[in-house]
Amino acid sequence: MEQLFNRKYIIQGLFIIIAIILLSKLFYIQIISDKAFVAAESNVLKKKFKYPARGAILDRKMRVIVQNEPVYDLMVIPNEVKPFDTLALANALEISIEDVRKNLRKARLKSNYQATPFSKQISVQSYARLQEIMYRFPGFSTQDRTIRHYPDSVGGQLFGYVKEVDSADIARSEGFYKPGDYKGKSGLEFSYEEILRGEKGVINTVYDAKNIPQGSYADGKYDVNAVSGERLISGIDIQVQKLGEELMKNKVGAIVAIEPSSGEILAFVSSPGYDPNLLVGKRQGNNYMDLIGNPYKPSLVRPIQGKYPPGSSFKPIDALLGLQEGVIDVNMTFNCPGYYMAGNHKVKCEHVDGNISMRRGIARSCNTYFCHVFQKLITKNGMKNQRQTYQDWRDKIAKFGFGQKLDIDLPFEKQGYFYNADHYDKIYGKRWGYTTVISQAIGQGEITATPLQIANAMAIIANRGYYIRPHLIRAMGDKIKKEYVEKNYVGVDAKYFEPVIDGMQDCVNTPWGTAVLSRIPNILMCGKTGTVQNPHGKNHSVFIGFAPRDNPKIAIAVIVENAGYGSTYAAPIASYMVEKYLTGQVSGARASQVEWMKNQNLLPLLIDKSKKLKLTKADSLIIRKTDSLKRLNDSLKLKTATAKRAFSAKLAKKNNVIIKPDENKK
Amino acid sequence: MQQQGNRFFFNVDWIAVLIYIALCVIGFTNIYASIPHPDTATAFDFSSSYGKQLIYVISGLVLGLSILLFDGRLFNVFAPFIYGITLILLLAVLFVGRNVGGNQAWIPIGSFRLQPSEFAKFGTALVLARYVSTFNPKFRDFKSIFIAGIIVAVPLLLIMMQPDTGSALVFLAFMFPLYREGLSGYFLLIFLGMIVLFVADFLVPVSILIIILLTISGLFIYANKRKQKLIITTVFVTLIAIGYLFLVKIAYDKILQPHQRNRIELMLGLKTDNKGAGYNVIQSQIAIGSGQATGRGFLQGTQTKYGYVPAQSTDFIFSTIGEEWGFIGCAVVIGLYVFLLLRLVNLAERQRSTFSRVYGYSVACILFFHVFINIGMTIGIIPVIGIPLPFISYGGSSLWSFTILLFIFLKLDSNRMGFI
């Protein structure tokens, strides 16, 4: 019995051990780990976001050019849905019954207890219809938010678009964006996202286990009201912008107009353009794919991404530099026999002018004159120092904004090519000089620039020697932006501008000027046409100009791809834009010309790539052979004689290699 | 003997009664906190669960005190009779019982539902005590173990047929009083070994378990190579253990119902399930864990208030205590239980009569099983087994049966000076 009595302690010990085990586990989950506490909070607390309205954008005359429109998302909490009249809902939403079922299935997959989008961005009409019969659909509710609306339907590439954030955006934002948020993806919507988006509001609501709201958390202590985005005031004149897009209809190219005194961009046309409203709402995805697939690449923002040789519009800058460097003076003449001989290579001129001076040279766009100027600029320190002199020249031109980004307030700006001397060292070794790069004298060859850079160069001439960084937005809310006031001087004295401007004035306003047909009555526009040689097809039509001559209000660059002479398309388009901006309308006989211009279709022919696939192997070999021969020959035209010989030798070798098997086959 | 009026309550262990009352009050308070909208209700809304619990607590106390008025000898005399009635009720429930939550465990009597399995506990305890005290077996022989086994097994199997595995498991608690009365400690070790092997069977491949078992027995035989009897026993035990491993696998697949398999696998961490069967345990642990050290305060538990823990006023009432009173509250409740259990064992040991002692041990061990399984379940160290937390969980049947269980012993204890 004594031993059995001791068993009491074993049983009591067991009680205590088990109690200690229970308490240790409790100690762990209650005191050591805070996982349960966090889980409990997320159980009961649900954040409902209030989406702020995005900031509006106004044009320079305070007209609203980007605004918001209310839309409604139809939300559903699947486990609250009772059997309902599928047909009635389908009719109200203008979708099929299958879609109703599909959407419900999708929502169920996401969550059974949370409000999930059933049908996003339903139309106002659907919303109105739905409101009347909403009581018949338990579990469904509407959530309002705003989407963008662009009342003028222009400026697709300028404004960009707003889209629901994807997982990459969320990851990049380090938790700022949540699924379901919207974000500017390109254009101004992208650049000014942080100002436009405003601040999201949060309502913390306590929910019970059945997901029924039980009131606000901590009396709304942690709730935040939504703050609307700030409005932006842009420098755009929407009427001019609209005219520009209409003029560029069925043409490929770009227009950039700048107010020289402020650097504000007045018009920013990228053609083909598109209606920014296409990238809003339900069909955003499809429309976006259509734009991406369009062979004329409307998704390319040509004013800042298109890279064009500046062509003759480069000439006034040459002249300015020549004057500044003192290698020419206003009255110096060069003889133009209709061409210029750069070594053995002939640079053609469109006309034979005999002895020609600067003013006439600019007005007539004389290639010979500017090749001479270029020759003088590069050889002014002697033939042996051409490399260094070229580099100096290049750096001075670069001050006009070429070969570098202008840091406009839009994303994805390109800088164009404008090579340093090193680049030519790599190609030609030490043996190169002004004749090698002579094509740059007339804005051809290796140099390319964006329309924005070209327009900016024109603003520099209009300002007589400086520019303010071009920008689209001049004020955020009521604050004028400070970063766009600094004057960037280009290192050419103001006095040298007048003779150059004389030439540009003549270009538009004298019978011998290239753009005389684009003269605007009562407005003294100065300009310069350009016909840019295009290795891929017909020449590009270019015009740059500013007006009026004194105290200029607008500087403009127009590029119409594959349109031929600058005087036929680019110059008239520029003149209509200028007139519209300065007087508010295009008047007189020119009004009908505007209509004519709008109807011109200059879209380049597209090569049907599908046909190419049908070629036999032999055919493609022939095409490849002739293509390569042509390409080599083309490139040789611009090279020096020595280079030509070397290439001919290479070519001969190559031809042997390529042609032989081809012939054997035949 | 003292005054005439105190005769019935003379020698009653008031400390145990006080702990009982404290636990009942804790139960009522937490049931009150568990219902969704306490702000609109009063404590005396008798249509609500806490209102009913108030009636159960008061009537339970009256019931307990009236038990003290009986003559303790009656329980000894009527033990077989009470046992017989509970067996009849257990049989009856299989035919006329109402099915609640998959278990045929309730007999409806008017608006009140009787749960015979609750009353079978003290019926069995009484008859076991009667058997031990009458025949004074030392459980060295097969016959006495067999008879005691039958006494426990009959109600156990009847309850299994409902099927209410949780309540049936509690009958294993009778091992401890039998152990106290002389049953070999090996039975407890075997029982422990069975549990260990059962759990191991799921976590480790059978082949490895067999290798381990063979290695251990091999080493054991090598160490005791002179003792022939021990070697035979070892071989025998090893073979049974290996057979048991396979039996568990088969029984697990064939006998256990899917929801039970599910609960076991969840508890062993073999799978996770946040929405289905695992939901209860996860939500219960979240509620308890979120109470942290001092709890959110009375009526402030969000998980409790907003109904995140299913069955919160009944089997998962401990989660309310955990959330609103924190670790301190949990420790107090567990402390009260441990104190009560140790006290009951001490009281049992001071009995002169074997009947009272066996019965006292039975009470302590039944309570212990309930407390351990219930709290262990709410914090995820035991699979979900639906049995109530004594004196605290909502429910008349369970509260009254625990009250009867306890107060019969307190009555027997108050009579300890006399002879039964």
Q: Which tokens hold the place of A298? A: 């409307």
**Mean pLDDT within A512-518:** 85
State the pLDDT confidence band at A637, using cuts at 50, 70 and 90.
very low
Determine whether the interchain pair A44/B330 forms a contact, defined as Cβ–Cβ distance below 8 Å: no
Q: pLDDT tens-digit profile of A547-559?
A: 899 999 999 999 9
Summarised one tens digit per residue, pLDDT across range B96-152 is 877 766 666 777 776 667 788 888 998 999 999 999 999 888 888 888 999 999 999
The dihedral region occupied by B102, where left means phi > 0, alpha psi between -120 and 50, and beta the remainder, is left
DSSP A170-199: HHHTTTSS-TT-EEE-SHHHHHTHHHHS-B
Condensed to tens digits (0 to 9), the pLDDT of residues B315-350 reads: 899 999 999 999 999 999 999 999 999 999 999 999
- For residue A32, list chain B residues with Cβ-Cβ distance below 8 A: none
Q: How confident is the model at residue A112 (pLDDT cuts 50, 70, 90)?
A: confident
Residue contact A40–B287, C-beta within 8 A: yes
Which two tokens mark B358? 């066996």
Query: In this structure, which amino acid lies at residue B354?
Result: T
User: Taking 50 as the threshold, does the pLDDT of residue B275 lie above it?
Assistant: yes
Res. B389: pLDDT tops 90:
yes
Does the beta-carbon distance from B292 to A5 stay under 8 Å? no
Beta strand A473-476 with A345-348: parallel, antiparallel or unpaired?
unpaired
What's the per-residue H, E or C state across A384-405? Answer: HHHHHHHHHHHHHHHCCCCCCC
pLDDT on residue B317? 92
**CB within 8 Å: B182 and A4:** yes
pTM beyond 0.80: the answer is: no
- H or E segment to which residue B169 belongs: helix B165-170
Residue in B403, B407, B383 with CA at minimum distance from that of residue B395: B403
Given this model, what pLDDT does residue B374 score? 94
Interface test with B, best of A29, A34, A41 (most B CBs within 10 A): A29
pLDDT in tens, A441-482: 888 878 889 999 999 999 999 999 999 999 999 888 766 666
Q: Which CATH superfamily is domain A238-598 in?
A: DD-peptidase/beta-lactamase superfamily (3.40.710.10)
The amino acid occupying position B190 is I
The one-letter amino acid at A316: P
Q: Does residue B163 have a cis peptide bond before it, meaning omega lies within 30 degrees of 0?
A: yes
Instruction: Compute the mean pLDDT over every residue in chain B, rounded to the nearest whole number.
Output: 85
User: Looking at the predicted structure, is the pLDDT value of residue A159 above 50?
Assistant: yes
Q: Is the pLDDT of residue A641 over 80?
A: no
- For the segment A348-374, what is each residue's pLDDT rounded down to a tens digit? 887 787 888 888 888 888 888 989 898
Closest residue in A to B295 (Cα) is A30
Alpha-carbon distance of B5 to B155, in angstroms, equals 40
φ, ψ for residue A530, nearest 5 deg: -145, 140
Of A275, A295, A249, A316, the residue nearest A503 (C-alpha): A316
Place of tokens 């107090």: B332
Question: What span, in angstroms and rounded, lies between the C-alpha atoms of B206 and B198?
Answer: 11
Cα–Cα distance measured from residue A16 to residue B316, given in angstroms and rounded to the nearest whole number: 22
Query: Read out DSSP for B71-100?
Result: -THHHHHHHHHHHHHHHHHHHHHHHH-EEE
Contacts of A114 in chain B (CB under 8 A): none
Q: How many CB atoms lie within 10 A of CB B90?
A: 25
The mean per-residue pLDDT over the stretch A121-132 comes to 84
Q: Which helix (H) or strand (E) holds A546?
A: strand A540-547
For B195, other C-beta atoms within 10 Å of its C-beta total: 10
CB-based contacts of A443, cutoff 8 Å, min separation 6: A309, A310, A311, A312, A313, A314, A315, A530, A532
What is the count of residue pairs from A and B with beta carbons less than 8 Å apart? 116
Residues of chain B in contact with residue A215, where contact means CB-CB under 8 angstroms, are none
The residue count of chain B comes to 420
Residue A648, pLDDT above cutoff 70: no
Query: Which chain A residue is nearest to residue B307, measuring alpha carbons?
Result: A209
Whether the per-residue pLDDT at A12 is higher than 90: the answer is yes
On the question of pLDDT at A177 being above 90, the answer is no
pLDDT band at B276 (very low <50, low <70, confident <90, very high): low
Return the residue in A7, A8, A15 with the most chain B beta carbons within 10 A, the one to mutate for interface testing: A15
Structure tokens at B156: 């156990």
Tokens 């003549």 -> residue: A506
Better-predicted residue by pLDDT, B173 or B226: B173
Least Cα distance to A319 among A290, A287, A360, A347 occurs for: A360
pLDDT category at B410 given cuts 50, 70, 90 is very high
Contact B306 A7 (CB under 8 A): no
Residues of chain A found within 8 Å of residue B342, distances taken between Cβ atoms: 12, 15-16
CATH 1.10.530.10: does it fit domain A53-154? Answer: no
Is the CB of A36 less than 8 angstroms away from the CB of B290?
Answer: yes
In this predicted structure, the answer to whether residue A335 has a pLDDT above a threshold of 60 is: yes
pLDDT, one tens digit per residue, over A296-323 is: 888 889 999 988 888 887 888 989 999 9
The set of residues, in sequence order, having a beta carbon less than 8 Å from that of B83 and lying 6+ positions away, is: B123, B124, B126, B127, B151
> pLDDT tens-digit profile of B21-59?
999 999 999 998 887 654 555 556 667 788 888 999 999
The pLDDT value given to residue B153: 93
3-state class percentages of chain B: helix first, strand second, coil last, to nearest 5: 70, 5, 25
Print the SS3 string covering A234-303: ECCCHHHHHHHHHHCCCCCEEEEEEECCCCEEEEEEEECCCCHHHHCCCCHHHHHHHHHHCCCCCCCCHH
For residues B290 and B259, the answer to whether their CB atoms sit within 8 Å is: no
Q: Which residues of B touch A16 (CB under 8 A)?
A: 338, 342
- The CA distance from A21 to the nearest CA of chain B, in Å, is 9
pLDDT-derived band of residue A143, with 50, 70 and 90 as boundaries?
confident
* Beta carbons of B301 and B324 less than 8 angstroms apart: yes
Residue A557's contacts (CB-CB under 8 Å, 6 or more residues apart) are A254, A255, A256, A257, A313, A451, A452, A454, A455, A458, A542, A543, A544, A574
Do residue A29 and residue B330 have CB atoms under 8 angstroms apart? no
**Digit-coded pLDDT (tens) for A406-417:** 888 888 899 888
Q: Which helix (H) or strand (E) holds B347?
A: helix B317-349
d(CA B371, CA B342): 14
Cα gap A312→A310, rounded to integer Å: 7
Write down the pLDDT at residue A630. 58
Alpha carbons A217 and A46: distance in angstroms, whole number: 9
Tokens of A404: 């570098």
CB contact under 8 A, B289 and A29: yes
Strands A57-58 and A232-234: parallel
Dihedral angle of Cα B18, B19, B21, B25, to the nearest 10 degrees = 130
pLDDT score of A657: 43
* Residues across chain A: 666
Least confident of A24-33, A612-621, B345-354: A612-621
Whole-angstrom Cα distance, residue A391 to residue A434? 11
Model confidence pLDDT, tens digit, residues B178-218: 999 988 888 888 888 888 888 787 777 888 888 888 888 88
More confident residue, B397 or A80: B397
Q: What is the token pair recorded at A642?
A: 């020595």
pLDDT tier at B1, thresholds 50, 70, 90: very low
Predicted pLDDT at B113: 72
Distance, CA of B394 to CA of B402 (rounded, Å): 12
The CA distance from A29 to the nearest CA of chain B, in Å, is 5
Q: Which residue of B has its CA nearest to A10?
A: B180
Which range has the worst mean pLDDT, A89-93, A317-321, B87-91, B305-309? B305-309
Question: In this complex, do B337 and A21 lie within 8 Å of one another by their Cβ atoms?
Answer: no
Q: Give mean pLDDT, residues B87-104.
A: 79
Q: What are the residue boundaries of the structural domains of chain A, listed by start?
A: 2-33, 53-154, 238-598, 609-665
Helices B354-378 and B396-414 meet at what angle, rounded to 10? 150
Angle B251-B257-B263 (CA atoms, 0-180°, nearest 5)? 100
Say if the Cβ atoms of B290 and A214 lie within 8 Å.
no
Q: Binning pLDDT at 50, 70 and 90, where does residue A269 land?
A: very high
User: What residue in B sits closest to A11 (Cα-Cα)?
Assistant: B176
- Distance CA(A264)–CA(A555), nearest Å, equals 10
Per-residue pLDDT reduced to its tens digit, A233-260: 999 999 999 999 999 988 999 999 999 9
Taking an 8 Å cut-off on Cβ atoms, the answer to whether B306 and A208 are in contact is: yes
CB contact under 8 A, B334 and A31: no
**Nearest in space to A544 (alpha carbons), one of A247, A312, A277, A321:** A312
Chain centre to alpha carbon of residue A211: 46
Nearest-neighbour CA in chain A from B81: distance (Å)? 30
pLDDT band per the 50, 70, 90 thresholds, residue A629:
low
Q: Would you put residue B204 in left (φ > 0), alpha (ψ -120 to 50) or beta?
A: beta
Grade residue A581 by pLDDT with cuts at 50, 70 and 90: very high
Across chain A, what does the average pLDDT equal?
83
B323 contacts in chain A (CB < 8 Å): 40
Instruction: Say whether B12 sits in a helix, a strand or coil.
Output: coil
